[in-house]
Structure 1
Amino acid sequence: MSEPSVQDVADWWATAVSRVEPDVIELRGRPIQELIGTTSFVGVIWLLLRGAPPTPGQQRLLEAALVSSVDHGPHAPSIAIARMAVTCGIGINGAIASGVNTLGDVHGGAGEQCMEMLAEVGRRAAGGTGIDDAAAAVVAGWRDHVRYLPGFGHRFHSVDPRREPLLSLVRESVAAGVVDGAYLRAAEAVERNLATGRSRPVPINVDGLTAVVYGELGFPPPLARGLFVLSRSVGILAHAWEEAGQGRRNKGPIPPSILPTYGGPS
């Protein structure tokens, strides 16, 4: 085996995302100085992930989805943990990392899972099955191995307040030809299925709504979680910064005056 060359090392880190050399910074072939002041942050996210700028309609949808997920209060584990962490002296970056690291399959993964479910509905419908029959079959299959159907229902909201604005934007985008509407149709069919025989419906929630948006925009399911992490990081940062200014040290999950219930031997 020949000795590795400088070119071997350079090829080891080959990337099409950015080019950084003395006096040169390019993102997907576009000089950074041309992007600064002319391209939005959301536009740069799209550019880096997709390789080309978004259309105005694509950017509007992506921005709406990112805005919808930024925060859900300190009862969300990612927010609560970041607030506690910053009082432990680890700094703002450590607090953000602590919060982000809780965004797993249960807290933060429902959007990715919902995208997979809706894609399955779409595949069945494309194969000739009626959309409602496809939704019924997929829902039944998912319920065999999950307790909660990802993207539908909410433990706090009878109807997620983010539902109508996001659904309206997607419907407008379908009408304008910005997106196809396959994920929207699948989500609406699942929602109809879940409402069958119930006095109270099980409406789509923000995870399902963003799954629809990301699916319509052509992102693969794993990026739904990555984009959620980007969005929720904004709320995590804001809460950690607020907590840092309150002067607490070693903040725990409950006030010191409240003792946890002891269940061991007396």
Structure 2
Amino acid sequence: MTSAQDADAQWWATAVSHVEPGSIELRERPVQDLIGTVGLVDVIWLMLRGSTPAPRESALLEAALVAGVDHGPQAPSIAAARMAVTCGVGLNNAVATGVNMLGDTHGGAGQQCVEMLTDIRDLRASGGGWQQAAQEVMADWQSRSRYLPGFGHRFHPVDPRRDPLIRLVQQAVSDNVVGGDFLNAGLAVEGILRRRRAGARPVPMNIDGATAVIYAELGFSAPLARGLFVLSRSVGILAHAWEESGQGRRNKGPIPRDVLPARLPQPKDA
């Protein structure tokens, strides 16, 4: 190999995959050895971490991914994909449109919750209990935002995905599959919120909080919590885009045409 060829090879050097004529390796594992023997969740873990998970770790990750697949057409990412596919674009474009809606406000709470739970875990390690650490970190977060990521839901009084996910984590802690620090941090926040809002609508952990606990317990970094949510939600986005493509509608807007007002109201700050 010439120095120029070596420089070209180094430019695209990666530990994720290696491809040459007749050979495809994913994290140094021949793809033919993975096909039919390893599940998709295990391959996701392999590609991101360079190893395959233990069966219980894989099951926990799969539960989190299943829980985040869909939340109906009122979710901006799914609504955008459904509208996009009526505009004459392909499924790939429609899915990309939906995925690109997953930002800090819609889709980013899982990443933010992992960051918050990590702050609580780290502060608690320096001394004190879970409640004290949670109170201090919550105060810091709430000095910057009125929302605590991963807690409360605008639609569900209690997110139906919370309990089964937390039960799985609790069992995994009991069986020494995961350590439990992030679970303790999340439950501490939930307990403080419950006491603060005694008699008012509760603010329990939501899907972002419950999956953040799982991703953090499994050792995924905060940015990957968002990345994994994107993978999960992409399934629902694809399903909705595909269904919409068979409806025969063209240029679908955010509201039905028969309720479109003759003149749109002006913004309040206009």
Bin for the TM-score computed over the shorter chain? over 0.9
Of 249, 254, 266, which residue of structure 2 is paired with 1:263?
Answer: 266
Q: Any unmatched runs of 5+ in structure 1?
A: none
Distance 1:241 1:52 in 2: 34
Letter aligned with residue 121 of structure 2: G
**CA deviation vs aligned residue, 1:54-112 (integer Å, no higher than 9, x gap):** 10011001000000000000000000000000000111000000000000000000000
In the other structure, the counterpart of 2:131 is 132
Q: CA RMSD in A?
A: 1.4
**CA deviation vs aligned residue, 1:103-150 (integer Å, no higher than 9, x gap):** 000000000000000001101111112110111111111111112110
Please give the secondary structure, in 2, of the residue aligned with 1:196: helix
In the other structure, the counterpart of 2:217 is 216
Distance 1:58 1:236 in 2: 26
Distance 2:50 2:167 in 1: 28
In the other structure, the counterpart of 1:67 is 66
In the other structure, the counterpart of 1:24 is 23
Letter aligned with residue 173 of structure 1: A
Percent of aligned pairs sharing the same letter: 63
Deviation at residue 4 of structure 1 after TM alignment? 6.5
Distance 1:24 1:128 in 2: 52
Which TM-score applies when normalising by structure 2? Answer: 0.95
Letter aligned with residue 262 of structure 1: P
Distance 1:128 1:39 in 2: 42
Deviation at residue 195 of structure 1 after TM alignment? 1.0
Deviation at residue 197 of structure 1 after TM alignment? 3.2
Which TM-score applies when normalising by structure 1? Answer: 0.96
After TM superposition, the structure 1 stretch with the greater mean CA deviation from structure 2, 121-130 or 82-91, is 121-130
Please give the secondary structure, in 1, of the residue aligned with 2:196: coil
In the other structure, the counterpart of 2:44 is 45
Distance 1:258 1:193 in 2: 44
Distance 2:102 2:146 in 1: 19
In the other structure, the counterpart of 1:235 is 236
Aligned length: 263
